[in-house]
Amino acid sequence: MLPPRAFPLSPANSNRALVLLASYGILVIASAVAYIVLSGDQRPPVHFLLLLAITSVSAWGIYARYRWAWAVAALLAAWQIYSGLSNMWPLIKAGVVYAPVPAQIIFGAIALRTLVLIILFLLLLFFSDRENVFG
């Protein structure tokens, strides 16, 4: 029987996940600012606020070592990896390399956010004791 608060990540991997979530949060903020500046739309982008809220809750849960936080972070990473790749594919096919600079900046932000989450997802998937998640 598992202890009631068994956490699937070691302390070192928890710290790595926290660093990745913090860097993802910073990238989300930078992407939101770039979106506002480059698009001219002065309204706060709700999608970025939702991403920041989910990232913050996941980071807090991993810091407090709640088992549900592992699953929330893994679902966030999987969802945003899919979203990032599905947003990047049409841009690559359209020749984003030859596009204006604002389009290249947006593409770079999407690619960087997706890369950070791929690393987070691999950390959560392969470097955790999943028996402690469902026990």
Identify the band that residue 3 occupies on the pLDDT scale cut at 50, 70 and 90. Answer: low
Domain map of the chain by residue range?
11-129
pTM of the model: 0.84
CATH top-level class of 11-129: mainly alpha
Give the mean model confidence (pLDDT) for residues 85-102.
Answer: 90
Could you tell me the sign of the dihedral formed by the alpha carbons of 99, 103, 104, 110, in that order? negative
**CA–CA distance, 125 with 107 (Å, rounded to integer):** 26
Q: What is the mean pLDDT of the chain?
A: 88
DSSP alpha helix (H) spans, the chain: 11-39, 46-63, 67-93, 101-126, 131-134
pLDDT tens for 5-15 read 677 888 888 99
Distances 51 to 18, 34, 59, 108, 134 between C-alpha atoms, Å: 15, 15, 12, 18, 25
